[in-house]
Amino acid sequence: MTRRGPGTTWSRRDVLRLAGLTAVVGATGGLAACGSRDGAGPDPSASSPPSPAPSGSAWSGTRSVGDAQQAADLVLAGAQAAAAAGSFGIAGAIIDNSTGEVVHRMENQVLRRLRPTVTADSGETFTWDPTAHGERQLVYWYFENRDRLALPPARDLTVVTSLDPCAMCTGALTTAGFNAAVVAMDTFSGINFRQDGRFADLPQPVRGAVRETFGYYAVESGRQYQGGRSVAFADTAIDQQVYDACEDIYQSSAKAVRSARKTTNTPPDQLRDPGTWKTAAPIRSAYRRVYPKAFTHRLKDFRRPDRTLRRMLEELVADTAGADNAVAFIDPFGNVVTAAAGPLPRNPAATGFMTASQDYALTRFALVDDKETSGPARRALTSPMFGTFVWLVAPDPRATTTIEDLGGFGSTMQAAIPQATPSAFQFYEPPRRGTARELRQVAGSLPPLYSQLVKIDPQRVGDA
């Protein structure tokens, strides 16, 4: 169990289930952005002030919508709630195409507020899960609840989102088979960053799937509808006010998020090694409850994976039902902190990388949010941008889950990687389908967040 505080414990299942918590609340949720611009793009302070936050009932109380305008108003309310909670101002909702029923809704929760008992700043936020974008969370929620709630097939549902989905969310949505309806654009990390609806930078068959299932609502006296016809309310339009408000609430929240993240990205030379520091024993124990072999192996160089790590990943795949790949996270001291195999049987979007990233972040947040472990966790753990992710097998360059992994990697890194060579994205074996060169080409063709800021560079172990 992972300790949260006096008398309270979390199991690995409890920690991971947090990623699927409902956001059917008022302005108390919180999550990370598809449109995260950390260190690049226009200054959010230059945008116009966001629209006034609506009452909580506008977000949690709406049970059905009848057209694109109502759907856009709904996700705007969620985006405002996310911003009020200290995360990126973005939100999404699953809509039943045939009835307009709001099946589920989720705010961005990349960041969450820490409990007052662990911080001098009662409003301090901390990275909870860099993959906790509204759309990605909705996909996971759907797979977790599909059978129990007898939900319609994903093809009969539309995820309406306040901002153009990032690469990670695009991969998750298309893997699940959802339609997606978009209010505002994002030319930095949105999948339609060229704004032409062609998605020519995506590989086939991903490109065709996105063209068929993504739609960008027409804006009165402005943008014409762009996209597939299976999207809910494709024949109706939104007004310019709600478009601008969705864009503004994201921009105004992004500056605050970037500022908050500075306190979580401690350079390694200012940290204690969690693998050897005696005071970090509770940290090692917490990660071993998530991944039993955490901190049992240490690389001589955190950017040079060895044969022992490869065997660890092979064993993980063999021990995980339905998995065909595994990914490990190595901290800047060379410690194997966590590893996960995937995809998971009941959720094809739960890849090994996605789970490994979530495991590291959620456990770190739980430690920082616990008065007993907060100090040591802050002094020993930092952003994954200072570490290395290692795949057993490189992702298939033509798969929807690869777009999800590449996007998730970009969101996890957050910004320019401090040490670019050897790469922070490595693999032992080339893709089973396609080539490593194709994988690099796909990464280099993604929106600017991934191709220009993070500069994702998939590299075979030993090729540096």
Nearest to 322 by CA among 359, 356, 355, 351: 351
Residues 205 and 253 in one domain: yes
Q: Is residue 5 part of a domain?
A: no
Residues 284 and 400 in one domain: yes
Domain stops at, among 229, 261, 293: 261
Residues 251 and 292 in one domain: no
Give the CA count within 13 Å in the CB-facing half-sphere of 452: 11
Q: Is residue 3 part of a domain?
A: no
Residues 223 and 281 in one domain: no
Domain stops at, among 226, 261, 296: 261
Q: What is the dihedral of CA 83, 406, 199, 449, to 10 degrees?
A: 50
Supply angle C-alpha 195, 406, 417, rounded to 5: 100
Residues 205 and 307 in one domain: no
Burial class for 441, CB neighbours closer than 10 Å (0-12, 13-18, 19+): middle
CATH code of the domain in which 80 resides: 3.40.140.10
Q: Please, where are the H alpha helices in 396-450?
A: 400-413, 436-444, 448
Q: Is residue 1 part of a domain?
A: no
Number of domains in the chain: 2
pLDDT of residue 148: 97
> Per-residue pLDDT for the chain (464 aa), expressed as one digit of tens each?
333 333 333 343 333 333 333 333 333 333 335 544 333 333 323 333 333 444 456 788 899 999 999 999 999 999 999 999 999 999 999 999 999 999 999 999 999 999 998 987 778 999 999 999 999 999 999 999 999 999 999 999 999 999 999 999 999 999 999 999 999 999 999 999 999 999 999 999 999 999 999 999 999 989 999 999 999 999 999 999 999 999 999 999 998 898 877 777 899 999 999 999 999 999 999 999 999 999 999 999 999 999 999 999 999 999 999 999 999 999 999 999 999 999 998 999 999 999 999 999 999 999 999 999 999 999 999 999 999 999 999 999 999 999 999 999 999 998 999 988 999 999 999 999 999 999 999 999 999 999 999 999 999 998 65
Q: Please, where are the H alpha helices in 414-453?
A: 436-444, 448
pLDDT of residue 48: 33
Residues 160 and 255 in one domain: yes
CATH code of the domain in which 276 resides: 3.40.140
Residues 286 and 172 in one domain: no
Residues 304 and 231 in one domain: no
Identify the three-state secondary structure at position 64.
Answer: strand
Q: Is residue 2 part of a domain?
A: no
Structure-token pair, residue 410: 């970009």
Identify the three-state secondary structure at position 451.
Answer: helix
Structure-token pair, residue 74: 């709904």
Peptide bond into 343 cis (omega under 30): yes
Residues 158 and 307 in one domain: no
Q: What is the dihedral of CA 396, 330, 31, 246, to 10 degrees?
A: -50
Residues 359 and 452 in one domain: yes
Residues 257 and 272 in one domain: no
Give residues with Cβ within 8 angstroms of 222, minimum separation 6: 240, 243
What's the predicted TM-score (pTM) here?
0.88
pLDDT of residue 57: 62
Domain stops at, among 233, 261, 289: 261
Residues 382 and 284 in one domain: yes
Per the structure, the complete domain to which residue 46 belongs is given by: 11-261
